């Protein structure tokens, strides 16, 4: 007779609970409503667009005299749009000092430029916005307003990347144009979109033919994500794996890919060499040091008077750093075992306090 252990029954019940939770989340998705990033009524955090790269002769500001009503959200009396001007005069594909013939403008959904605290899940939404270009604006040699693209940003480990959702090779519409852009759920990262952008890619060839020359004025309104619950979504999966073995001693782990991550340890008692009767050496040994696949790691030994809890004494103390040892691992410097001895910092014997402010 075949029997089932209590552990197996528990796992089965856990799996059932997981599936039930999955069904619940799908049911909750049915209540999703449109997400308004900004109708530019003066109350939303998102009230500006910033120059990301390319042409620098760009300005933007709220314009309450120009508004395009929307059907995707309630309209507010006194609502406006964001008015933008871009001066393409003198742009050239031949390089500096002439301005570049491209323009990227954007803002985070939070309205705070590089602040990714507000996200939108593109699995269930599509991007909408309205665009109006002044018909008297500068055009290319072909008579259009240039090659235009728009989309959203995704942010990972402090890096901002773009997801192109709309692309018109030669934009000619001079009236209000409503753009609806489908968000493909298969694109990695679209479940946490962080910002909106409009981009004029490189507008000319090497000979500068077709360059936009002059002033363009345009308005952007009603940046709204509309609900789309018809997208093909893969069901969630779950895996079980044993926890990694415990490593005895102090463990320090990196928390991401940001270039300014810091992890610090400090002594609880004073470790001064002042009044020592013999030379003092400071050293530190680290096991399992990151290998050569992580070439940007550095390790420092800092001598700090009256240390606090700051993460970077070298940047916050005028006389904080007495002596520092740093390394970058290379194939020649790493030991086979992965153990790394941080080069000792010898301090000469001293009988009096000496300011280390250099």
Q: Which of 40-54, 88-102, 317-331 has the highest average model confidence (pLDDT)?
A: 40-54
pTM listed for this prediction: 0.59
Note the pLDDT of residue 272: 76
Q: Is the pLDDT reported for residue 320 higher than 70? A: no
Reading the block at residue 185, the tokens are: 């759920």
pLDDT (tens digit per residue) in 250-299? 888 776 555 667 777 888 777 777 777 888 777 777 777 777 776 667 77
Angle at 122 between CA 120 and CA 128, to 5 degrees: 85
The residue-averaged pLDDT of 76-92 equals: 91
Dihedral of CA 326/328/332/336: which sign? positive
Q: Is the pLDDT reported for residue 214 higher than 60? A: yes
129 in Cβ contact with 73 (< 8 Å): no
Q: How confident is the model at residue 35 (pLDDT cuts 50, 70, 90)?
A: very high
Q: What percent of the chain has pLDDT over 90?
A: 42
Peptide bond into 173 cis (omega under 30): no
Q: How confident is the model at residue 208 (pLDDT cuts 50, 70, 90)?
A: low
**Which region among 216-220, 233-237, 242-246 has the lowest average model confidence (pLDDT)?**
233-237
Q: How confident is the model at residue 195 (pLDDT cuts 50, 70, 90)?
A: very high
Token pair 């250099």: residue: 358
Taking domain 30-227, whether its CATH number is 2.20.28.90 is answered by no
Q: What percent of the chain has pLDDT over 70?
A: 72
pLDDT (tens digit per residue) in 128-165? 999 999 999 999 888 899 999 999 999 988 889 999 99
Q: Is the pLDDT reported for residue 23 higher than 70? A: no
| Euclidean distance between CA atoms 198 and 212, whole angstroms | 16
The burial of 26, by beta-carbon neighbours within 10 Å (0-12 exposed, 13-18 middle, 19 or more buried), is given as exposed
Q: Is the pLDDT reported for residue 338 higher than 70? A: no
Note the pLDDT of residue 60: 96
The residue-averaged pLDDT of 168-179 equals: 93
Note the pLDDT of residue 314: 61
CB count, 10 Å around CB of 324?
13
Average pLDDT over all residues of the chain: 77
Residue ranges per structural domain of the chain: 30-227, 257-358
Who has greater pLDDT, 204 or 329? 204
Who has greater pLDDT, 332 or 297? 297
Q: Is the pLDDT reported for residue 70 higher than 90? A: yes
pLDDT (tens digit per residue) in 220-239? 999 999 999 999 887 778 88
Note the pLDDT of residue 112: 92
pLDDT (tens digit per residue) in 286-319? 777 777 776 667 777 777 777 667 766 666 665 5
Note the pLDDT of residue 266: 80
The residue-averaged pLDDT of 332-337 equals: 38
pLDDT (tens digit per residue) in 47-57? 999 999 988 89
């Amino acid at each position: 007779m075949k029997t089932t252990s209590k552990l197996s029954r528990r796992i089965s019940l856990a799996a059932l609970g997981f599936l039930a939770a999955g069904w619940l989340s799908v049911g909750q998705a049915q209540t999703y409503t449109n997400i308004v990033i900004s109708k530019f009524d003066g109350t939303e955090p998102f009230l500006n667009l910033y120059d990301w790269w390319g042409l620098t002769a760009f300005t933007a500001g709220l314009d309450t005299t120009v508004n395009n009503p929307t059907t995707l959200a309630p309209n507010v009396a006194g609502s406006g749009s964001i008015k933008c001007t871009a001066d393409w005069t003198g742009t050239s594909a031949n390089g500096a000092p002439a301005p570049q013939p491209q323009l990227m403008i954007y803002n985070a959904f939070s309205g705070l430029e590089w602040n990714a605290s507000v996200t939108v899940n593109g699995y269930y939404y599509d991007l909408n916005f309205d665009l109006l270009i002044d018909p008297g604006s500068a055009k290319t040699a072909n008579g259009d307003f240039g090659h235009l693209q728009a989309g959203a940003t995704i942010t990972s480990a402090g890096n901002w990347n773009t997801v192109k959702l709309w692309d018109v090779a030669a934009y000619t519409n001079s009236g209000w144009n409503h753009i609806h852009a489908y968000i493909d759920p298969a694109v990695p990262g679209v479940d946490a979109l962080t910002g909106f952008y409009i981009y004029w890619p490189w507008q000319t060839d090497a000979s500068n033919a077709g360059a936009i020359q002059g002033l363009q004025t345009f308005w952007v309104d009603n940046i709204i994500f509309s609900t789309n619950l018809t997208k093909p979504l893969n069901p969630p999966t779950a895996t079980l794996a044993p926890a990694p073995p415990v490593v005895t001693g102090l463990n320090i782990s990196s928390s991401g890919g940001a270039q300014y991550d810091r992890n610090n340890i400090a002594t609880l008692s004073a470790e001064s060499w002042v009044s020592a009767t013999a030379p003092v050496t400071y050293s530190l040994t680290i096991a399992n040091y990151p290998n050569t696949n992580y070439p940007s790691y550095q390790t420092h030994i800092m001598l700090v008077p009256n240390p606090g809890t700051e993460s970077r004494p070298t940047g916050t103390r005028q006389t904080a750093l007495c002596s520092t040892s740093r390394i970058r691992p290379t194939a020649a410097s790493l030991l086979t075992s992965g153990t790394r001895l941080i080069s000792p910092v010898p301090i000469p014997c001293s009988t009096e306090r000496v300011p280390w402010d250099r």
